[in-house]
Amino acid sequence: MKPSSSISNASTKVGVFDSGAGGLTVVKSLVAHRLFDEIIYYGDTARVPYGPKDPATITRYALEALEFFKNFDIDLLITACNSVSAHALPELRANANFPVYGVIEPGIMALKNRHLSPESRILVLGTRATIGSGRYKSGIAKLGFTNIEALAPSLLVPIVEEGLFDGPVLQSTLHHYFKDLQPPDAIILGCTHFPLIADAIGNYFPNTPLLIHSGEAIAEYLQSHGYPAQAHPEIRLEIFASENPDGLKKIAQKWINY
Ligand code: DGL
């Protein structure tokens, strides 16, 4: 294992794992901050979505993905998928010979770094698996926040997959989930798909809340763990999938302009 403290702007190869295409939103942030020079992305497109699955199944799938990454001599692995981050990190860490980072702890740290008052209203959005784990809620409560709402707006995942980043279907779905909420001060976008509809989510509320995005949060977190920003001018991204890799590459062109 290469300890993260020994890594500066030396060549670094990162594995990024997601249940499907959503983790490309995390890749986008890693590329923007130029933290690594090589990114190996693996999306389990054959078995997406993970959000409705139970913790044991998510952990089993994540361990299978880990075997895939063992072929690549990666320096670290990021589980871009919040549902995997919520349930499979201990098992992944126990079975990997490189550091494994999830996105939940970084999301909580990003909220902490915004220095909001403890009575601020915090809304966490994620899949059923993520929200059911209670990980965000308990981590945010430990920061001293007392007004936390956690919600699983499951229909938003297929809506994003359909490319409906705005328009009546998205708006009525947001209304369906948000209509009874008190306007939040901050929203954790605790699902890989939600950054793609961040504008619509933020603008639903009268005073656009602060939005915390898993990709930006993990980029910020890694910078404080020995991976400096802007360290790699050239970045190589390789995309793999358990089903239809060409389809995933097309989504990468559309979503992150790769
Ligand atoms: N990648 C998942 C997450 O961030 C969303 C899609 C899914 O349910 O697999 O939790």
Note whether 186 and 112 are same-domain residues. Answer: yes
pLDDT digits (tens, 9 = 90+) for 163-195: 999 999 999 999 999 999 999 999 999 999 999
Q: Which of these is catalytic: 30, 31, 81, 197?
A: 81
77: helix, coil or strand? strand
Low-confidence ranges of the chain (pLDDT < 50): 1-7
Residues 36 and 69 in one domain: yes
Choose which residue among 27, 81, 160 to substitute to test ligand 1 binding: the one with the highest number of ligand atoms within 8 A of its C-beta. Answer: 81
Same domain, 115 and 172: yes
Q: Are residues 152 and 123 in the same domain?
A: yes
By three-state DSSP, how is residue 157 classified? helix
- For residue 129, being part of any structural domain is answered with yes
Residue 9, pLDDT score: 57
Q: Give 188-205 pLDDT, tens digit per residue.
A: 999 999 999 999 999 999
Catalytic, 81? Answer yes
* Domain membership flag for residue 5: no
For the chain, the domain total comes to 2
* Same-domain check for residues 49 and 118: no
pLDDT value for 3? 37
**Are 24 and 95 found together in one domain?**
yes
For residue 2, is it within any domain? no
Tell me what pLDDT residue 6 has.
42
Residue nearest to atom 7 of ligand 1 (CA): 49
Helices (H), the chain: 24-33, 55-69, 82-87, 89-95, 104-112, 128-133, 135-142, 156-161, 168-178, 198-204, 214-223, 245-256
Find the 19 Cα to ligand 1 centroid distance in Å. 6
168 vs 47, 139, 178, 200, CA distance in Å? 29, 35, 15, 11
Cis peptide before 49 (omega within 30 of 0): yes
Residue 13: how many CB atoms within 10 A of its CB?
A: 17
Tokens (6 digits) for 170:
């998205």
Q: Is residue 87 part of a domain?
A: yes
Our answer on whether the CB atom of 127 is closer than 6 Å to any ligand 1 atom is yes
The predicted pLDDT at position 232 comes to 84
Indicate whether 83 and 114 sit together in one domain.
no
Going by the DSSP 8-state scheme, the letter that residue 206 receives in this structure is S
User: What is the predicted pLDDT for the residue at 231?
Assistant: 86
CA–centroid distance, residue 215 to ligand 1 (Å): 13
46 and 19 co-located in one domain = yes
Q: Which domain holds residue 247?
A: 13-102+216-256
Same domain flag for 138 and 66: no
Q: What pTM did the predictor assign?
A: 0.95
Tell whether 67 and 157 lie within a shared domain.
no
Most distant CA pair in the chain: distance in Å? 50
Q: Give distance in angstroms: CA of 184 to centre of ligand 1.
A: 23
